[in-house]
Amino acid sequence: MNGKPEVVRPFSSRNPPNSARQNDMYAARNQMNAIKNSREPITIDEIISLKREKQNLTQERYILKAKIARFSDATKRPNPPNRNIQIANSLEKQVKTLEQLVAAKKQEIADLIYSDRAALVTELQEESKMLHLESNRLKKLKQDTEAELKKLSLELEEACEKYSPQVLNRQGKAIRGVEKEIEMQKARNDKIQKKIDDAIKAQEEQKLQEKHENLQKQIDSLKQKIRQEQNEINGLDRQMRELQENHTNEILEYQSRL
* Other CB atoms within 10 A of residue 48 CB: 12
> Are the C-beta atoms of 131 and 105 separated by less than 8 Å?
yes
Comparing C-alpha atoms, which of 120, 132, 14 is closest to residue 66?
14
pLDDT per residue over 128-153, tens digit each?
788 888 888 888 888 888 888 888 87
Write the pLDDT tens digit of every residue in 79-91.
Answer: 555 666 777 677 7
Which CA distances in Å does 71 have to 84, 138, 139? 9, 11, 13
Is residue 37 predicted with pLDDT exceeding 50? Answer: yes
For residue 186, pLDDT over 80 is answered with yes
Mean pLDDT for 199-222 is 83
Mean pLDDT, the chain, whole residue set: 71
Bigger pLDDT: 110 vs 26: 110
Q: Which of 158, 162, 182 is nearest to 170 (CA)?
A: 162
State mean pLDDT over 177-193. 86
Phi, psi of 77 (to 5 degrees): -85, 150
pLDDT above 70 for 8: no
- List for the chain the helix, strand, coil content (%; round to 5): 85, 0, 15
CB 11 within 8 A of CB 98: no
CA separation for the pair 126, 119 (Å, rounded): 12
42, 117 in Cβ contact below 8 A?
yes
Give tens-digit pLDDT for 151-183.
887 887 777 777 677 777 877 788 888 888 888
Distance CA 204, CA 157 (A): 66
Note if the pTM is more than 0.85: no
| DSSP reduced 3-state for 17 | coil
Cβ neighbours, 10 Å, residue 33: 17
